[in-house]
Amino acid sequence: MTCISSLLLEQVDFSGFSGATMAALRGITARVTRLELMYVRFKDLDGCLAFLGAAVSLRSLTSFVTIFETETWSPHLVIATILPELVELELEGDKDPLLDLVRFTSSPPRIRAVSLYLGSKNISAVASFLGRLGSSLTHLHIQSSFFDRTPSDTNAEGIDLSKNPNLKNIIFGPNSSQWIVKILDTAAPALDLSRIFMGKGSALRRTGIVLSNLDLSARSAIIGWLEDATNEPGRIQVRDHEISLRDLRPEFM
C-alpha cells in the first residue's frame, strides 16, 4: 500500500469513517501524486482538510462532485497552505467546494494547469481563483456548465487573464462561443498566447458574430490578435474531437 502513487476514490462518504480509518487513508495519501475524487462526501471543511492536508506530494487533483454536508465558508475564511506540490487541478462541476478551498488558502499552490466550468453560480469564485494563481498558470481549459442552457458573455464577467502573464495555452470546451471573445479581450495584447484550442461548436465563425457586439477598440485588438494567430500555423486549432488538459500533460507535469 505504501507504493501507491495514483488513487481513485469513488462514491466514498468520509463523514462515516472512524478516526483509525481516516488515519490509515492519510498515511496512503501522503505518498500519492495523482488523486481523483468522484462523488465524494465530507462532513465539513475540517474533514476535507484532514484528508487533503496529508497529501504533501500530490501533483494532480481531479474532483467530480465533491460535497460538504455542512457549509462552513465565510467571506473572511483563511486556510493554511495545503497541497504545496499541486501542479494540475481539474474541477468537473460549476459549484465544487474545492475551488474555494484552494482560493482561500493563505498561499495558493503554484498550479500550472486548471480545468473548470463557468456558470452563473461560480463566476466570481472563478475570477478570484484565476487571479490568485497569477504567474504560475500556463494552461487553462474552460467551458460552460452543462446546466447553463443559454450561456452568455456575462458568465465571463470579472475574469481578467492579464493577471496570468505566463498563460500560453487556452482550451475552450463545448458551448463556449458566447464568451470566448470576452475572455480573449482580457488576454490581448498583454499575453503572448502560444495556442488556442477550440471544438467545432465554438469555431471562429461564431466568434466573429460575437465580435460585432464589442466596442471598437476591443474589437480591433481581438481581430488583430486572431489574424496574427491564424497566420501562424498551429496557433489556433479547431478540433473535431474535444481536447483536454490531459492531452497536454507532458508540457506542464
Buried b (16+ CB within 10 A) or exposed e, 106-115: eebbebbbbb
pLDDT at res. 90: 93
Q: For 115-143, how does the pLDDT look when each residue is reduced to its tens digit (9 = 90+)?
A: 988 776 777 888 888 998 999 999 999 88
Structural contact between residues 73 and 101, judged by C-beta atoms closer than 8 angstroms: no
Among 2-11, 91-100, 126-135, 210-219, which range has the highest average pLDDT?
126-135
pLDDT at res. 205: 47
Pseudo-torsion of CA 150, 100, 61, 95, nearest 10°? -30
Closest CA to 185 of 213, 143, 147, 151: 213
Query: Does position 222 have pLDDT exceeding 60, yes or no?
Result: no
Mean predicted confidence (pLDDT) in 48-53: 84
Structural contact between residues 142 and 183, judged by C-beta atoms closer than 8 angstroms: yes
Q: Is the peptide bond before 189 cis (omega within 30 degrees of 0)?
A: yes
The larger pLDDT score, comparing residue 3 to residue 100, is at: 100
Closest CA to 87 of 28, 167, 33: 33
pLDDT at res. 209: 43
- Among the residues of the chain, which ranges form H helices? 19-29, 45-52, 97-103, 123-133, 180-187, 204-211, 216-231, 249-252
Spatial separation of the C-alpha atoms in residues 37 and 53, rounded to whole Å: 15
What number of helices (H) and strands (E) belong to the chain?
8, 9
pLDDT at res. 203: 43
Closest CA to 199 of 224, 172, 225, 222: 172
Q: Any idea which residue has 460585432 for its cell?
A: 212
pLDDT at res. 177: 61
pLDDT at res. 239: 53
The larger pLDDT score, comparing residue 15 to residue 210, is at: 15
User: How far does CA 125 lie from the centroid of its chain?
Assistant: 11
pLDDT at res. 89: 94
Domain boundaries, the chain: 1-88, 112-253
pLDDT at res. 200: 52
Lowest-confidence segment of 63-67, 137-141, 229-233 by average pLDDT: 229-233
Query: Does position 247 have pLDDT exceeding 80, yes or no?
Result: yes
Q: Is the dihedral of CA 42, 47, 50, 53 positive or negative?
A: positive
